[in-house]
Amino acid sequence: MIQFEIIKSPDTNIVSKNEFFQNMIYIGKTKGNIIIADPLLSDSHIMIEVLNKDLIIHPQKNVDFYLIDGKRSSSVRKIKTDQVITIGQTSLKVTRFEETLFKSKKNTLDEKLNSLIEANSTRLAVIEELAKMMK
């Protein structure tokens, strides 16, 4: 989960708080999870990633630099919550993050089926429970 706030942008429609329940988000002018009408952005400008207990910013290709708290950077960097990231004329800050664990629907169904079988549930109970989960 990545929670961040866009605090300044020429695209006034995008200035808001955002929350994504995934470990990677892409931000750019025409591609990504967040599209920002900022003439100084590349099509896909940066990727922000939660990796274990770290928050990492990845500039995408054709990105010369970005700013972290006003200091220029051009490489992959760890960032902390509440640091201000400036890309083009847009500024944002990540307010909270934590790694999001993913489970596929198949894995969830397999776990539920195994727990029902281990509990010696009747065959009908197992089928009914799985049918509820498929809805």
Residues 72 and 128 in one domain: no
Tokens encoding 102:
């993913």
- Count: domains in the chain: 2
Task: Supply the DSSP symbol for 60.
Answer: P
78 lies in which domain range?
2-97
Residues 19 and 75 in one domain: yes
Residues 35 and 66 in one domain: yes
Q: Which pLDDT tens digit goes with each residue over 46-98?
A: 999 999 899 999 999 989 999 999 999 999 999 999 999 999 999 999 999 99
**Residue position matching structure tokens 């847009």:** 90
On average, the pLDDT of the chain sits at: 88
Please report the pLDDT score of residue 36 as a whole number. 96
Please report the pLDDT score of residue 119 as a whole number. 72
Residues 22 and 88 in one domain: yes
**pLDDT at 5 exceeding the cut of 90:** yes
Residues 92 and 112 in one domain: no
Confidence of residue 24 (pLDDT cuts 50, 70, 90): very high
Spatial CA neighbour of 55 closest among 42, 43, 68: 68
Rounded-to-integer distance, Cα 44 and Cα 47, Å: 8
Residues 92 and 41 in one domain: yes
Whether this model's pTM surpasses 0.75: no
Residues 87 and 118 in one domain: no
User: From start to end of 11-98, where are the E strands?
Assistant: 17-20, 24-28, 34-35, 46-51, 54-59, 66-68, 71-73, 77-79, 84-87, 90-97
